[in-house]
Amino acid sequence: MEFDEAVRSRRSVHEYSDEPVDDDTLEAVFERVRYSPSSYNLQPWEFLVLTEDGNRERLQEVAYGQEHVTDAPVAVAVLGNTDPSAHAEAVAEDQLRKGYLPNEEAKEGLLETIEGMAERDEETNRNWATKSTALAGMTLLHAARAEGLATCPVGGFDADALREEFDIDDQYEPVMLVTMGHAAANAQDTNAPRKFRRSVDEIVHREAFEPTAADLDDEVVTESYATQ
């Protein structure tokens, strides 16, 4: 799918058809996700992918009962590793082998830098993990769309309950949930006019920062993919 079409036709979909998502499609989606960028290539993202009914029901509890969590054939918990040093050795060795770092000394320097990141306060590293993992989360939403799937990112869930229910260590920050599947033919979200977006003029500030309030007249063109 063209990049433009993937971006413009992506909607947050709450109603799914019964059609399952096959493993090859899931693999193709995550194959793209892993190309996302991260500080020093530290790749803190992890994805708990749930397709079994019982597991999506457990996730639904954590997500305040939202119906699409079980209506969708796939639900994903997107998690960020708050320890920047988790994969440091592999990351640094890779950069040495490929010439991004000139020698062992430079590799040691990078490892020290990453160790310094790991020693920052908890809030800083939580925010770092959230940011890096959200980048991969956006790639996930677009990559799924490029494979013809619908998704819905979910911010409303109980992070502590998620950790407890799925035995996730405190080291991992739950960043978002994503439901995924094929949109129902009559899904309101793909048939209703797209919600407005703030205009480019409003969100882009050239050379100086002068924020303005949202103007409802800044529509984006409505596009549906229910019939594609």
Positions in 40-69 near a second copy (CB under 8 A): 41, 43, 45-52, 55
Contact between residue 46 and residue 174 where contact means Cβ atoms under 8 Å apart: no
If the CB atoms of residues 18 and 213 are measured against a second copy, the closer one turns out to be 213
Contact between residue 204 and residue 210 where contact means Cβ atoms under 8 Å apart: no
If the CB atoms of residues 17 and 130 are measured against a second copy, the closer one turns out to be 130
Question: Shortest approach of a second copy to residue 27 CB, angstroms?
Answer: 6
Torsions phi, psi of 125, nearest 5?
Answer: -75, -30
Q: Is residue 120 part of the contact set for a second copy (CB under 8 A)?
A: no
Q: Is residue 196 part of the contact set for a second copy (CB under 8 A)?
A: yes
Binds a second copy (CB under 8 A): choice among 18, 24, 65, 98: 98
If the CB atoms of residues 71 and 176 are measured against a second copy, the closer one turns out to be 176
Look at the alpha carbons of 166, 144, 28, 80 in this order and tell me if their dihedral is positive or negative.
Answer: negative
Alpha-carbon gap, residue 194 to 201, rounded angstroms: 19
Binds a second copy (CB under 8 A): choice among 62, 69, 72, 79: 79
Alpha-carbon gap, residue 191 to 188, rounded angstroms: 5
Q: Is residue 109 part of the contact set for a second copy (CB under 8 A)?
A: no
Question: Shortest approach of a second copy to residue 13 CB, angstroms?
Answer: 11
Look at the alpha carbons of 106, 109, 111, 114 in this order and tell me if their dihedral is positive or negative.
Answer: negative
Alpha-carbon gap, residue 153 to 175, rounded angstroms: 10
Residues in region 128-167 near a second copy by CB under 8 A: 128, 130-132, 134-139, 141-143, 146, 153, 155-156, 166-167
Question: Shortest approach of a second copy to residue 224 CB, angstroms?
Answer: 13
The interface region with a second copy, picked from 65-73, 104-112, 185-193 by CB under 8 A, is 185-193
Question: Shortest approach of a second copy to residue 211 CB, angstroms?
Answer: 6
Helix axes 104-118, 88-97, angle to 10 degrees: 150
Alpha-carbon gap, residue 109 to 141, rounded angstroms: 36
